[in-house]
Amino acid sequence: MRHILAVLVENNPGVLTRVTGLFSRRGYNIDSLTVGRTEDANVSRMTIVVEGDDLVLDQVTKQLNKLVDVIKINDITADEYVDRELVLIKVNADPAVRGEIMQIVDIFRARIVDIGRKTLMIECTGDEGKINAIIESLKPFGIRELVRTGKVAMLRGTKMTSLCDEKEKKDNEEEK
C-alpha cells in the first residue's frame, strides 16, 4: 500500500539528508519526495510517498519522530486530500504535427511554455493519473526530455497538517 506522509520539519541545513538517510538505512524506498517552506519560514513541509504495509509505516513514523528536526508527522492516506504533480515535457514538434500536439495540450488543460524550431515544451499539473496520461499521449511524437515533480498533497476542508493545527490546539488548551 502507498502511504502519503505530510512531515513538518525545522528548516535547518541537513534535515533532508537525515530524513532520506533514515529511509535508506532501513531499506525503504521513497516513491516521491517534495520539500518546500511553509507559511512559517522556519518550517518546511515534506510530502513523502512510501510503499509498504502498516508495519513499515509504523517503523518509519517512529524513526522519523526520533529525529530532532521533525515537528509533526501526519499519514494523510486515509483522509480526503487534494494532490498534484507538475511535469515539464519537451516533445519533438515539427510544424506538421504542432496542431495535433496543441489539441492534446488543450484536452489536458496544459500549457505550452516554450517553442523551439523543432520542439515544444509543455507544462502540466494534475494528479498522478493525469500526468501519466499526458505523457502516454505525447510519446508517439517523441519525448526528448521530461522532468516530473513529486506529489504534493493537502487535506480537504478545514483539516490541516500545518503548524496552525498545533497553535490552535495549544491556544484551546490554554483557554481551558
Do residues 126 and 108 make contact, with C-beta atoms less than 8 angstroms apart? yes
Q: Please check the confidence at residue 120 and state whether its pLDDT lies above 90.
A: yes
Q: How many Cα atoms sit within 13 Å of 95 on the Cβ side?
A: 1
Site of grid cell 493525469: 130
**Where along the chain do its domains lie?**
2-78, 82-152
Which contiguous run of DSSP H or E holds residue 104? helix 98-107
C-alpha 142: how far from chain center: 26
Q: What is the 3-state secondary structure (H, E, C) of 21-77?
A: HHHHHCCCCEEEEEEEECCCCCEEEEEEEEECCHHHHHHHHHHHHHCCCEEEEEECC
* Count of residues in the chain: 176
Please tell me the distance from the alpha carbon of residue 83 to that of residue 4, in angstroms, as a whole number: 10
- Over the stretch 19-61, which tens digit does the pLDDT of each residue have? 999 888 888 889 999 999 999 999 999 999 998 888 888 888 9
164: left (phi over 0), alpha (psi -120 to 50) or beta: alpha
Do residues 121 and 154 make contact, with C-beta atoms less than 8 angstroms apart? no
- Over the stretch 136-171, which tens digit does the pLDDT of each residue have? 999 999 999 999 999 999 999 876 665 655 555 544
Res 1: pLDDT: 86
Res 137: pLDDT: 98
- Over the stretch 64-84, which tens digit does the pLDDT of each residue have? 999 989 999 999 999 999 999
Mean pLDDT score of the chain, rounded to an integer?
90
What grid cell was written down for 3? 502511504
Res 170: pLDDT: 45
In this chain, the answer to whether the domains covering 2-78 and 82-152 adopt an identical fold is yes
Please tell me the distance from the alpha carbon of residue 73 to that of residue 47, in angstroms, as a whole number: 10
Q: What is the pTM of this model?
A: 0.80
CATH of domain 82-152: 3.30.70.1150
Q: Report the CATH superfamily, name and number, of domain 2-78.
A: ACT domain (3.30.70.260)
Select from 100, 113, 102, 99 the least CA-distant residue to 147: 113
